[in-house]
Amino acid sequence: MSAATQLYLATLSVYICVNVIASWALDIQFGVTGVLNFSFIVFQAAGAYTAAILSLGPSSTSGGFQQYVGGWKLPFPLPILGAMVVGGVLAGIVGLIGLRRLRSDYQAMVMLVVSVIATVVAESETGLVNGPAGVSLVVNPVVSLVHATRQTQTWIFVALCAAVTVVVGFGMHALLYSPYGRVLRGVRENDRAVEALGRNATLARMQVFIIGGALAGLSGALLVEFIGAWAPNSWYYPETFVFFTAVIVGGRGSLTGVAIGAALVGVGIQQAVEYLPITIDPSVIAPLEWVITGALTLLFLWVRPQGILPERRRRFPPPAAMTARGDAR
């Protein structure tokens, strides 16, 4: 296999892992708990910027061609962990503003506004994260940790991303297939009833907002450490809808379904469009991706709202069988 093919496949693999983690993060918010987080991409961006700033060192060390707040050169995996913390904390702050005392439709509007404000601030305040040009020259942590060929380093990073995805997947499974997950689905289905049964629906929404924010931050950190750069044009508010489409197409609340949706929508559409034998203006390629993404959302909402792999029905064995097995599942 040629080096170019290997790099192509490795890049696709990293993108799939990043999209799967991000889509799971949105799924626990939107798919499982019913929170319409239209600012989701902001938390991925916050994670990416944080990981970059915690990896690059002070901006003065790069010859001053990029300006950003802070700047530390922390060893792996601290930039990634820092990205998760910032994603979670930012989600907590946004959640405090948007999730309390507002109906879900107004919550969605607040989130959309937050997303628009965030990109405007990032672009306007050039000293914050280097304005419209964004940050660059972020070094892949594997390069400094492992002395090997570039290809091997790339595949090690792919393995790292895959391992992180598996760990996140197990964590998500543990959360969703537990009594806690049941409460979250209760909030999604009928928050008035769930409150009347003693559960604090607002607190549950805040919790998934923070968990999702931290995971979005993680996905952004992995991505920026692979591609080495991050700028506002990669996280304008419509990008959030790619993840919404992934969740809707895959199946809300279904981990496997959402993973399929993430690979299909987040990576598959883009690649399929790239390979189309287009004889018209190449500038239609990017808009075509958006058209297909939007059309897929509508198609699934109309024809198959439960998605490719619907949320699994939780069945419990009869009490007698449970007693014999000593287990509830």
Binding site for other proteins (CB under 8 A): 171, 174-175, 178-183, 185-186, 189-190, 192-201, 207, 311, 313-316, 318-319, 322-323, 327-329
Q: Give min distance, CB of 102 to other proteins, in A.
A: 15
73 vs 199, beta carbon nearer other proteins? 199
List C-alpha distances in Å: 243 to 239, 251, 265. 7, 12, 8
Q: Phi/psi at 316 (nearest 5 deg)? A: -115, 140
Q: Give min distance, CB of 319 to other proteins, in A.
A: 4
Q: Residue 110 corresponds to which tokens in the numbers above?
A: 């607040």
252 vs 263, beta carbon nearer other proteins? 252
List C-alpha distances in Å: 292 to 6, 64, 150, 236, 298. 28, 41, 35, 18, 10
172 vs 296, beta carbon nearer other proteins? 172
Q: Give min distance, CB of 326 to other proteins, in A.
A: 8
277 vs 319, beta carbon nearer other proteins? 319
103 vs 315, beta carbon nearer other proteins? 315
CA distance 252 to 272: 24
36 vs 45, beta carbon nearer other proteins? 36
Packing angle between helix 201-227 and helix 3-26, nearest 10 degrees?
A: 170
Q: Give min distance, CB of 41 to other proteins, in A.
A: 25
Q: Is 34 left (phi over 0), alpha (psi -120 to 50) or beta?
A: left
Q: Give min distance, CB of 306 to other proteins, in A.
A: 9
Q: Give min distance, CB of 171 to other proteins, in A.
A: 7
Spell out the long-range contacts of 108-116 with Cβ–Cβ below 8 A and sequence spacing 24 or more.
Answer: 108/36, 108/38, 109/38, 111/36, 111/37, 111/38, 111/39, 111/40, 112/38, 112/39, 112/237, 114/39, 114/42, 115/38, 115/39, 115/41, 115/42, 115/237, 115/240, 116/237
Q: Give min distance, CB of 253 to other proteins, in A.
A: 8
Rg (alpha carbons) of the chain, rounded to whole number: 21
56 vs 215, beta carbon nearer other proteins? 215
Of 184, 178, 221, 191, nearest to 21 by C-alpha is 221
